[in-house]
Amino acid sequence: MSLLKLASVAFLALTMGACQSLFQPSMQAPLEVKRDAWEHTKPGCSTADCPLVNIDTVHFPDEPALDAIVERRLLQLTVNSPGDQPPASLKAYEDQFMAQADSRHSSYLQAKVREQHDGLVIIELSSYLDTGGAHGNPGRGFINYSRQQHKVLTLNDMLVPGQEAAFWQTAQLAHKAWLASVKMDQDAEFVKTWPFQQTPNIALTYGAVILKYNVYTIAPYSMGHVELKIPYPRLNGILKPELFPGRG
């Protein structure tokens, strides 16, 4: 190939790359995030212990579909009984809660971006419902949103086909490491009472794959929301290669 043709090919490649950068969003640049937070007390109540609803969420001007996903997942955290349907909107939830709430009852819902990397947006969801008991009921969840695919990744989306059992076996090893870290690995009663369980709360953070547990799942309430961490090297052949940080 002549030098002229080589130069032409190189110029064409550069031009195409420039066009792609103009018309496609960079996956390395984080999505713009806007916070939206408010707290309302029950209308007509003027005492110090009025029922309240506190909502702290996020919006994505360049990815409006993600807004709807976040709201839907927050509303799912308000469902307390199997079979119940979540409210239609955050405003509908607030109205419903206020209509039924007594003094000192409160509800908190939060969505925050835990981190962004490699075209993924990792959102952590939190809830806390206090209806006057000894302590409130907290909840947690994650959203792993792929900007390339414009969808929330499920565990099946994350794993190499046929590797789900291997994933949970690796998670069990992380659980054993956690037991040792909190000095409970030699407590036979604790290990028997709080055995390893699977969780739907999985996050593809940059440093490790995180498994988060709701209270009373693998530990007593006083230990809060336990997090297990699986280093990426332990997931070679289990997690899809393109989901390893830096490979996407």
**Residue 227 and residue 132 share a domain:** no
Helix H or strand E encompassing 125: strand 120-130
**Residue 236 and residue 147 share a domain:** no
User: pLDDT band at 81, cuts 50/70/90?
Assistant: confident
**Residue 145 and residue 45 share a domain:** yes
Q: Within a domain: residue 2?
A: no
Q: How far out from the chain centre does Cα 41 lie?
A: 28
Structure confidence at residue 8 (pLDDT)? 52
Give the domain range for residue 48. 34-152
Distance (Å, rounded) from C-alpha 217 to C-alpha 201? 12
What count of other Cβ atoms lies within 10 Å of the Cβ of residue 94? Answer: 20
Q: Is the pLDDT of residue 86 over 70?
A: yes
Reading the block at residue 8, the tokens are 């032409």
Structure confidence at residue 83 (pLDDT)? 83
Residue 175: burial class (beta carbons within 10 Å; 0-12, 13-18, 19+): buried
Contact 226, 141 (CB under 8 A): no
User: pLDDT band at 70, cuts 50/70/90?
Assistant: very high
Distance (Å, rounded) from C-alpha 163 to C-alpha 221? 32
**Residue 124 and residue 85 share a domain:** yes
Q: pTM for this one? A: 0.87
Distance (Å, rounded) from C-alpha 130 to C-alpha 107? 6
Q: Is the pLDDT of residue 113 over 70?
A: yes
The 10s digit of each residue's pLDDT in 47-66 is 989 999 999 999 999 999 99
**Residue 146 and residue 76 share a domain:** yes
Residue ranges in the chain assigned as alpha helix (H): 3-23, 64-76, 90-100, 155-158, 164-181, 188-193
Q: Within a domain: residue 9?
A: no
- C-alpha distance from residue 176 to each of 179, 186, 202, 211 (Å): 5, 11, 18, 13
Distance (Å, rounded) from C-alpha 214 to C-alpha 199? 9
**Residue 140 and residue 42 share a domain:** yes
Q: Is the pLDDT of residue 9 over 50?
A: no
Helix (H, G, I), strand (E, B) or coil at 163: coil
Higher-confidence position of 95 and 9: 95
Q: Which of 133, 152, 171 is the last residue of a domain?
A: 152
Distance (Å, rounded) from C-alpha 75 to C-alpha 51? 19
**Residue 178 and residue 89 share a domain:** no
What's the average model confidence in pLDDT over 32-47? 94
Residue 66: closest CA among 149, 126, 150 = 150
**Residue 107 and residue 45 share a domain:** yes
Q: Within a domain: residue 1?
A: no
User: pLDDT band at 26, cuts 50/70/90?
Assistant: low
Q: Which of 152, 170, 190 is the last residue of a domain?
A: 152
Q: Within a domain: residue 106?
A: yes
Q: Read off the CATH number of the domain in which 231 is found.
A: 3.90.640.20
According to DSSP, residue 246 is labeled T
**Residue 123 and residue 43 share a domain:** yes
Q: Is the pLDDT of residue 149 over 60?
A: yes
Contact 32, 60 (CB under 8 A): yes
Q: How far out from the chain centre does Cα 124 lie?
A: 4
Q: Which of 152, 175, 197 is the last residue of a domain?
A: 152
Q: Is the pLDDT of residue 33 over 70?
A: yes
Reading the block at residue 50, the tokens are 């009025």
**Residue 126 and residue 94 share a domain:** yes
Q: Within a domain: residue 13?
A: no
Which of 8-12, 44-48, 79-83, 103-107 has the highest mean predicted lDDT (pLDDT)? Answer: 103-107
What's the average model confidence in pLDDT over 62-78? 96
The 10s digit of each residue's pLDDT in 189-230 is 999 999 999 999 999 999 999 999 999 999 999 999 999 999
Q: Within a domain: residue 103?
A: yes
Q: Read off the CATH number of the domain in which 106 is found.
A: 3.30.565.40
Q: Is the pLDDT of residue 24 over 50?
A: no
**Residue 130 and residue 220 share a domain:** no
**Residue 47 and residue 104 share a domain:** yes
The total of structural domains in the chain comes to 2
Structure confidence at residue 248 (pLDDT)? 60
Q: Is the pLDDT of residue 97 over 70?
A: yes
Q: Is the pLDDT of residue 35 over 80?
A: yes
What count of other Cβ atoms lies within 10 Å of the Cβ of residue 82? Answer: 5
Structure confidence at residue 210 (pLDDT)? 98
Instruction: Kindly report the average pLDDT of the chain as a whole number.
Output: 90
Structure confidence at residue 19 (pLDDT)? 44
User: pLDDT band at 5, cuts 50/70/90?
Assistant: low
Distance (Å, rounded) from C-alpha 27 to C-alpha 16? 17
Q: Is the pLDDT of residue 22 over 50?
A: no
